[in-house]
């Protein structure tokens, strides 16, 4: 039998072992449109390194509506049971199951409306008219739906055999007992979570403070919207793209800074200015100048400011992306200025790093 000989296969980039970071890697020549494999890490590696580099966020307590979409810092423990009392789940008559008989009418002895308090215990052989959500009187263990009853004068006749003990009732603590974990820590708070907190009388929640992100734009070719555009310039539009995506996920974007020219010292000065603010940003995004062209200075500007986390992504578009961690523990991520790359990196890199 003839044996087929297959040509050697190229290495699978998804299973490649990442090279260690070194100054030598940074000085390797790189084409402006491509990067050698030894200078690029896999996306999941970049995400893991950036996540590990973020400083822990302090915990703040916020009113419920302001906590929407934030991460719960500590579990929400039920301070009370819910429902807080035995209650009816249908309109009808609160009764004692042992009193029910088609042949023996029951005396109507009062009424329990939603919000009623100080109800008298249910006497033998009697029922109490009750509304959905109203508390059951002591001794009642079922509800006769209105459609299962016939009322003549002050007598209530049961017309159905479908009623069972506990029928159309909700016991105290049947939804949540005091001490139950209502919402686990690290849950992203959705409207339903806020309703659960409010249901238990909790007016505010402890959440991780929203990330504060500084966006720095780089490029001589960029003109701010609303100002005259010079020949050869385009209007800058990456900032609004990034900020609007972050705002959708309740990430705090710091006030916009002026566009930085293509100059190594100007880029470094802008980063140092941002790092000196009080409090400093949790993360700085630089946009533009990350490739290896004659006028790309972002990598050189960042090099003295910290330790490289990675300096290239095995991803297209977005390959020139790089990042460092400053001595203050603040990651700086430099993104290419291509809107196509930005549109890919926001969900692919930034979202998983920030946890949205």
Residue 8: pLDDT band by 50, 70, 90 thresholds?
low
pLDDT score recorded for residue 115: 86
Residue 142: pLDDT band by 50, 70, 90 thresholds?
very high
Question: Dihedrals φ, ψ of 300, to 5°?
Answer: -65, -35
d(CA 332, CA 321): 11
What mean pLDDT is reported for the chain?
A: 87
pLDDT score recorded for residue 356: 75
CATH 3.90.105.10 in the chain, residues?
A: 61-79+179-207
Residue 118: pLDDT band by 50, 70, 90 thresholds?
confident
- Tens-digit pLDDT profile for residues 157-201: 999 988 999 999 999 999 999 999 999 999 999 999 999 999 999
- Tens-digit pLDDT profile for residues 190-231: 999 999 999 999 999 999 998 999 999 999 888 888 888 889
- Tens-digit pLDDT profile for residues 61-85: 999 999 998 899 999 999 999 999 9
CATH 3.40.980.10 in the chain, residues?
A: 19-57+210-354
User: Region 266-283: what's the mean pLDDT?
Assistant: 94
User: Region 56-60: what's the mean pLDDT?
Assistant: 92
Percent of the residues in the chain that have a pLDDT greater than 90, as a whole number: 67
d(CA 354, CA 356): 6
Q: Which CATH architecture has domain 61-79+179-207?
A: Alpha-Beta Complex (3.90)
Which residue is it, tokens 């004068």? 153
User: Region 294-311: what's the mean pLDDT?
Assistant: 89
d(CA 331, CA 284): 7
- Tens-digit pLDDT profile for residues 28-57: 333 334 444 466 899 999 999 999 999 998
CATH 2.170.190.11 in the chain, residues?
A: 87-170
pLDDT top residue among 33 and 332? 332
pLDDT top residue among 19 and 76? 76
- The fold for domain 87-170 equals Molybdopterin biosynthesis moeA protein; domain 3 (2.170.190)
Question: Dihedrals φ, ψ of 76, to 5°?
Answer: -90, 115
CA 282 to chain centroid, in Å, comes to: 17
Buried b (16+ CB within 10 A) or exposed e, 116-141: eeebeebeeebbbbbbebbbbbebbb
Q: Which helix (H) or strand (E) covers residue 25, if one does? A: helix 23-27
d(CA 228, CA 241): 21
**pLDDT surpassing 50 at residue 4:** no
Q: What CATH number matches the domain at 19-57+210-354, 3.40.980.10, 3.30.590.10, 3.30.700.30, 3.90.1300.10?
A: 3.40.980.10
Would you say how long the chain is, in residues?
A: 356
User: Region 144-157: what's the mean pLDDT?
Assistant: 93
CA 247 to chain centroid, in Å, comes to: 12
d(CA 25, CA 32): 16
Any bridge partners for residue 271, and if so which?
none
Give whole-number Cα distances, 59 to 51, 72, 279, in Å: 18, 9, 15
User: Region 284-294: what's the mean pLDDT?
Assistant: 84
115 phi-psi bin (left φ>0, alpha ψ -120 to 50, beta other):
left
Residue 110: which residues within 8 A CB-CB, separation 6 or more? Answer: 119, 120, 128, 129, 137
User: Region 127-147: what's the mean pLDDT?
Assistant: 95
d(CA 86, CA 84): 7
pLDDT score recorded for residue 5: 45
233, 318, 325, 316: which is closest to 271 by C-alpha?
A: 325
Does the reported pTM lie above 0.85?
Answer: no
Residue 163: which residues within 8 A CB-CB, separation 6 or more? Answer: 97, 100, 142, 144, 148
Beta strands in 209-282 (DSSP E): 212-217, 222-223, 234-235, 252-253
pLDDT score recorded for residue 69: 87
Which residue is it, tokens 């977005």? 318
């Amino acid at each position: 039998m003839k044996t087929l000989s297959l040509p050697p296969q190229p290495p699978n980039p998804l299973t490649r072992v990442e090279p260690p970071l070194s100054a030598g890697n940074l000085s390797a020549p790189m084409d402006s449109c491509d990067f050698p494999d030894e200078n690029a890490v896999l996306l999941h590696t970049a995400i893991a390194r950036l996540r590990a580099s973020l400083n822990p966020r302090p915990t703040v307590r916020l009113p419920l509506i302001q906590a929407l979409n934030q991460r719960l810092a500590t579990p929400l423990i039920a301070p009370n049971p819910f429902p807080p009392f035995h209650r009816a789940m249908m309109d009808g008559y609160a009764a004692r199951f042992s009193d029910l008989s088609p042949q023996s009418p029951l005396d109507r002895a009062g009424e329990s409306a939603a919000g009623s308090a100080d109800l008298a215990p249910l006497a033998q052989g009697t029922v109490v008219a009750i509304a959905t959500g109203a508390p059951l009187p002591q001794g009642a263990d079922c509800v006769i739906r209105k459609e299962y009853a016939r009322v003549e004068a002050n007598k209530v006749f049961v017309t159905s055999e479908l009623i069972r003990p506990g029928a159309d009732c909700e016991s105290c603590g049947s939804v949540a007992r005091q001490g139950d974990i209502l919402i686990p820590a690290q849950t992203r708070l959705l409207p339903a979570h806020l309703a659960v907190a409010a249901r238990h009388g909790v007016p505010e929640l402890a959440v991780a403070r929203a990330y504060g992100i500084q966006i720095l734009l780089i490029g001589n070719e960029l003109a701010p919207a609303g100002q005259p555009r010079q020949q050869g310039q385009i209007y800058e539009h990456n900032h609004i793209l990034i900020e609007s995506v972050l705002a959708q996920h309740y990430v705090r974007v710091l006030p916009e800074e002026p566009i930085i020219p293509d100059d190594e010292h100007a880029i470094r000065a802008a980063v140092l200015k941002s790092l000196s603010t009080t409090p400093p940003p949790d993360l700085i995004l630089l946009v533009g100048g990350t490739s290896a062209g004659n006028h790309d200075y972002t990598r050189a500007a960042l090099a003295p400011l910290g330790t490289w986390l990675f300096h290239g992504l095995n991803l297209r578009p977005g390959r020139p992306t790089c990042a460092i961690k400053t001595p203050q523990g603040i990651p700086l991520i430099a993104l290419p200025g291509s809107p196509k790359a930005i549109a890919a990196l926001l969900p692919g890199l930034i979202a998983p790093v920030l946890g949205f």
